[in-house]
Structure formats: structure tokens, C-alpha cells
Copies of this chain bind each other. A is one copy, B any other.
């Protein structure tokens, strides 16, 4: 098949007629499929059911240091949970706080406290005229929402195949002391699946921000979510790089087991410099007495250690990898060479990022919806939900069954083709 833009008007109209018939036939089936959110499938959730048996009424519910996990105490988590999450997140146990179930909640709370109390003695951000934040795009909608909620001005920074465009990041943070942070998903970025290169990590660690309270929010949500364990990338540890570069306090790392065990019922943690951790623990002691230590214990007893975790993640990969490959195959087979869209084949994470021709994404998502397939809303991957090019679409292949996924992918490519033909016809 030749690129659509090389086709004549007549060829396009004839193709449109044929594709429309296909589309209408599928639409008539009244399907209801969902490729919108990064949720594990039922089959993946089943992998962790054994965790439900790790604690029973006959268990001794004490942590390794003797803390009774059924009562108050251990604000920053039980020691074995700190060790476990530290191993997963590449951080020393004494620089970890284990929280409740949601790393998003940790990030929200951290921004919120910075608003009301500042950071390591700085002016509370709520007292400043202006606070700004860097948002690599496309990115994670819930990150952007947090900072938008606090009235922070969001600035787009383009992503490259190596991570955020560091020339722009370096320039902006060194020039503007209103810029207080940046959202990063350094491994298998949401939605593109980009893994930050060593150079990118080192340039992050060496930033010279104008604001002393500038912080890198390093959300390593997919650090163990490899699709190809035999060929998995290695991400440089930002925490030790920041230390080496003389910026030990500049980064907060976040992670959770949300997509390892059960979303909403996992455990989440933060890693940072000792100075940051000490301040946050002090503040945290106002907010709560402790988090759920039984759930921490449940997780550690189920996985035991990093090896146990990795063995578990390989099982996830075996379920998820064929789904990614199925969607990528359909994209390649149906859209390859047509010049109406591009995508990256990720090596892990939860998403495939698709870029349509300019000004087509909203129409494509509407078109798939009309035929019964819910996609993430077009624009959702940008601050304020505004994709300046209206071209990025996030595909989440994990949740549907393989059968549903094939159908959904077929509807997606059909929608891309139909919308693209209309767009090209506008200029013919």
C-alpha cells in the first residue's frame, strides 16, 4: 500500500467507501471494549492471589524487629518493607519511607506540603506570586492534574527518545526561580515507553536550578515492568547521581507495587536524601500515626526479596507481552508505510503511544468510541488536556482480553485510516 498522501482524490474516496463499509459492519456488532486505562488484567491480578494467604489468624504478625504490625508505630514503615522497597527502587533502606497504597497520593501530599510549608526551609509556595512546573510531553495526566489543582503553571517540555529535551530543561530551570519541579517517569515513560539515557540522568543530576527548592519528581512507576527480561534496559540511579553532582536533595523518587500486586491495595514508597527524608518524616508525623504495616508485611512475606519480585514480574511479562505485540503487529501491518501515524515499540511499561497526523487525534478517539472502543481521551497526555498538535493517542493494551484486544485494535486502525483520509481530502 502506498502512502495515503500520494493517492489521488478518487483513490481515497474509493478506499473510504470500502473502509466505511467495514467500519459500519463492526459498529453494528455493538461492541464495548476499553483500551483507556493502564490497568492489569484479571489474569495478572490472579498472579498475586497467593498473597492473600500470607497472613492468617495463626500468623505471628510482628516485623523482623519485633514491632507488632497490628498496632500503632513505625511511621516510616517496617524495616523489611523499607529493605524490600529500597531494593525495588534502587535506594538504601534508611532513605526510604513506606507509605500506604498509592504513590500518586505521596506525590500529591509532597506538592501539597511544599505549598503550605515550603521545602527544607524555603518559602511556602502558596505564598509566592507564581509557581511553575515542567511537564515532559506527552506525559501522565494524573501528574499534570496534581500540579494544575494547586494553581501551578504547567510548561510543556518535549520528550526525545532519550528522555525530556535536556537543553530546554537546563535553560528553563537555571533561568527561572519560579520553576519548582518537573514530572518524570524515567523508565518506560507514560505513554511513550522511553527509558531515560545515562546522559539524560546525569544532566538531570547536574542541573543548576535557580530555585533552591526545585525538586525532580522521579516517578519510577514501571521500574520492574519489563516486557523482555533477557534484554532489559538499566536506568542510572538518579539519587546517587545527584549526590555525586553535589545536589543530594534535588530529587524525590517514588514507586509502588500497584501494578505488581493489586492496584489500590499495594504498598507505595518514597526515596530521597537523608535531609529530605528527615524533614518529611517530621511533617508526616502530623498527618498520621502510621501506615498499614500488615499490608507491608503481607507483601514482604509474599515476595521475600528482589529475586522473588523479579520472578513474579516475569509472569506479568508473559501475560502482557503478547498483548503489546498483538497491537504492534496490527499497527505495523495495517498502518505501516501509509504515512498517517507513527508509534514506538516499548520494551516495558503499560502503554503504546501513537501519533496521528496533526489535528486528527480527537476525531480518531471519537470514531473508535462510536464503534464501541473507549480510548484515553485525546489530549489527556498533555497539561490542561491540550495537545497543541492534536495528534497523541495513548493505547493501553493490558486490560482487555487478547480476543477483545484484536477487535479493538482493528477498530482503532480503521478509525485512524478513515479520519486520515478525510483530513487528506480536505487539502486535495
Contact = CB atoms under 8 A, between A and B. Distances in A.
A264 B289 contact: yes
A287 B104 contact: yes
Interface in A1-56: 37, 39-40, 42, 45, 48-53, 55-56
Interface stretch (A145-153, A307-315, A324-332): A145-153
9 contacts: A53-B57, A70-B263, A71-B264, A100-B291, A102-B289, A142-B289, A146-B286, A265-B294, A265-B295
A105 interface: yes
Given A45-B70, A72-B263, A265-B292, 15 more contacts: A39-B72, A53-B57, A70-B265, A102-B290, A112-B112, A115-B126, A116-B116, A116-B126, A117-B149, A126-B126, A145-B286, A146-B287, A149-B283, A264-B290, A295-B295
Contact of A116 (B39, B53, B100, B115): B115
Contact of A52 (B42, B57, B112, B290): B57
A56 B45 contact: no
A287 B126 contact: no
Interface string A52-83: 11011101010000001111110000000000
Contacts of A39: 71-72
Nearest to A266: B292
A293 interface: yes
Contact of A287 (B71, B105, B289): B105
Q: Which of A40, A57, A293 has the most CB of B within 10 A?
A: A57
A345 to B, nearest CB: 26
Interface string A110-132: 00100111000000101100000
B72 A37 contact: yes
A146 B285 CA distance: 10
Interface string A90-120: 0000000000111011001100100111000
A412 interface: no
Contact of A289 (B52, B59, B263): B263
Q: Which of A61, A100, A109, A288 has the most CB of B within 10 A?
A: A288
A262 interface: yes
Given A45-B71, A126-B124, A265 B288 contact: no
Interface of A: 37, 39-40, 42, 45, 48-53, 55-57, 59, 61, 68-73, 100-102, 104-105, 108-109, 112, 115-117, 124, 126-127, 142, 145-146, 149-150, 262-265, 283, 286-295
Contacts of A45: 68, 70-71
A193 B302 CA distance: 42
Contacts of A286: 108, 145-146, 149
Copies in the complex: 2
A104 B265 contact: no
Given A68-B42, A70-B262, A116-B116, A292 B100 contact: yes
A213 to B, nearest CB: 17
Q: Which of A49, A55, A292 has the most CB of B within 10 A?
A: A292
A194 to B, nearest CB: 23
Contacts of A61: 52
Contacts of A142: 289
B70 A289 contact: no
Q: Which of A48, A72, A145, A295 has the most CB of B within 10 A?
A: A72
Q: Which of A71, A101, A124, A146 has the most CB of B within 10 A?
A: A71
B126 A264 contact: no
B293 A264 contact: yes
Q: Which of A45, A53, A101, A146 has the most CB of B within 10 A?
A: A101
A202 B101 CA distance: 39
Contacts of A109: 287
Contact of A105 (B104, B124, B288, B293): B288
A263 to B, nearest CB: 5
Contacts of A102: 288-290
Q: Which of A51, A73, A264 has the most CB of B within 10 A?
A: A264
Nearest to A399: B71
